[in-house]
């Protein structure tokens, strides 16, 4: 017997979600690949964090839908006797962990020189991402999710604002990153509370794709690929 | 004197090798790099490990340093890398 689908697995319009995830994964992997040679030649830390951010974005969107898609559509859970609810929890956990790490790495790629590069900071990011993933996947209430995302969004925006407030250059990058973080938070809320933003779903998807496309365009233009 | 960034120091050292017909002894390279011997040694070891340069032992045990293909590629792509880092504020 086919198990009942979970709202996280297939909320509404699985086709739209799959295309959306696929486009974001493709953009992220293209950014990662386009910067490979520059990093291999220079071993520059800022480049390393920038690339890792996009690798984590790709991983996050892979976990978001593709794992469930493959498991359910190819009936792998019947063969391996997985519980789909358990798979849903793991996928959500991995999505929240990867997307949080992506945001932290993107922020760190801009801030690493000011924050004095240290391994303990990366460990702290991992720990924070694990806590966010655990809270988000275990307590899927509206209040917890909203508060968690708002705190993170305020923190990330504040750090970005401090970093760019005195700079003449880089204002467009500040706006792009800020919008990316806002849409990341909306994406997380959209997954944790599917009905909360359902009328704005398509708008969130299109705006997120637009932002990734802008970043990819800038990367390809500057990387000379 | 303005402090050079790591990437600029890398470019300067590799360019010195290139400008010396891709073959220079380590001692004149140290002198021309404008670094302390400790700082130079760190870069030198890193370059060898990352295969940006190669050491050659010639006659009479004379040691010479040359750029590898990767070293030449770094110099060729330096401006692109620098522009990219500036553009994304990395």
Q: Would residue B29 count as lying in a domain? A: yes
Residue A209 has pLDDT above 50, yes or no: yes
Which residue segment(s) compose the domain that B27 sits in? 7-85
Q: Would residue A145 count as lying in a domain? A: yes
- d(CA B43, nearest CA chain A) in Å: 12
Number of domains making up chain A: 1
Which residues from chain B sit within 8 angstroms of residue A46, using beta carbons? 85, 88, 90
A51 contact partners, CB below 8 Å, separation of at least 6: A31, A32, A35, A36, A39
- pLDDT number for residue A3: 45
Q: Would residue B90 count as lying in a domain? A: no
Q: What is the pLDDT along chain B (90 residues), one digit of tens a residue?
A: 456 789 999 999 999 999 999 999 999 999 999 999 999 999 999 999 999 999 999 888 889 999 999 999 999 999 999 999 999 989
Q: Would residue A7 count as lying in a domain? A: no
Structure-block tokens of residue A187: 């994406």
Of A43, A173, A223, nearest to B84 by CB-CB distance is: A223
Q: Do A37 and B90 touch (CB under 8 A)?
A: no
Q: A78-120, pLDDT tens digit by residue?
A: 655 656 667 778 888 898 899 999 999 999 998 888 887 677 8
Distance CA A204, CA A71 (A): 26
Which residues from chain A sit within 8 angstroms of residue B74, using beta carbons? 41-42
Give residue ranges of A with CB < 8 Å to any B CB. Answer: 35, 37-38, 41-44, 46-47, 49-50, 109-110, 169-170, 173, 218-219, 222-224
- pLDDT number for residue A147: 80
Which residues from chain B sit within 8 angstroms of residue A219, using beta carbons? 84, 88
Question: Mean per-residue pLDDT for A42-57?
Answer: 95
A138 band by pLDDT with thresholds 50, 70 and 90:
confident
**Rama region for B40: left / alpha / beta (φ>0; ψ in -120 to 50; rest):** alpha
Which residue segment(s) compose the domain that A114 sits in? 14-223
Per-residue CA distances from A111 to A18, A46, A50, A134, A186 (Å): 33, 9, 11, 26, 24
Which residues from chain A sit within 8 angstroms of residue B10, using beta carbons? 42
DSSP letters, A13-37, are: -HHHHHHHHHHHHHHHHHHHHHTHH
Q: Chain A residue with minimal CA distance to B86? A: A170
Question: Mean per-residue pLDDT for A53-68?
Answer: 87
Higher pLDDT, B67 or A72: B67
Q: Would residue B2 count as lying in a domain? A: no
CATH number, domain of B15, equals 1.10.10.10
Rounded to two decimals, what is the model's pTM?
0.85
Does any CB of chain A come closer than 8 Å to the CB of residue B74? yes
């Amino acid at each position: 017997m086919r198990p009942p689908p979970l709202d996280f697995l297939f909320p509404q319009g699985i086709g739209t979600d799959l295309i959306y995830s696929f486009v974001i994964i493709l953009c992220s992997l293209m950014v990662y690949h386009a910067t490979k040679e520059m990093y291999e030649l220079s071993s520059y830390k800022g480049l390393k964090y920038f690339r890792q951010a996009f690798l984590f974005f790709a991983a996050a969107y892979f976990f978001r839908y593709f794992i469930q898609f493959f498991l359910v559509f190819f009936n792998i859970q019947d063969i391996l006797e997985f519980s789909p609810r358990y798979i849903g929890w793991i996928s959500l956990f991995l999505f929240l962990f990867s997307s949080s790490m992506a945001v932290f790495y993107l922020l760190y790629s801009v801030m690493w020189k000011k924050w004095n590069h240290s391994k303990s900071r990366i460990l702290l990011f991992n720990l924070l991402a694990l806590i966010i993933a655990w809270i988000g996947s275990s307590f899927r209430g509206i209040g917890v999710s909203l508060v968690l995302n708002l705190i993170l969004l305020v923190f990330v925006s504040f750090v970005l604002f401090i970093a760019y407030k005195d700079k003449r250059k880089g204002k467009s990058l500040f706006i792009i990153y800020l919008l990316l973080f806002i849409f990341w938070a909306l994406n997380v809320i959209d997954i944790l509370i599917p009905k909360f933003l359902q009328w704005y779903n398509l708008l969130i998807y299109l705006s997120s794709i637009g932002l990734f496309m802008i970043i990819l365009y800038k990367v390809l233009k500057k990387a000379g690929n | 004197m303005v402090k050079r960034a790591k990437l600029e120091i890398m470019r300067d050292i590799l360019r010195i090798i290139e400008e010396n017909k891709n073959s220079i002894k380590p001692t004149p390279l140290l002198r021309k790099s404008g670094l302390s011997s400790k700082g130079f040694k760190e870069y030198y070891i890193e370059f060898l490990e990352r295969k940006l340069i190669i050491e050659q032992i010639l006659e009479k045990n004379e040691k010479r340093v040359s750029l590898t293909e990767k070293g030449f590629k770094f110099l060729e792509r330096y401006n692109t890398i620098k522009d990219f880092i500036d553009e994304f504020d990395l």
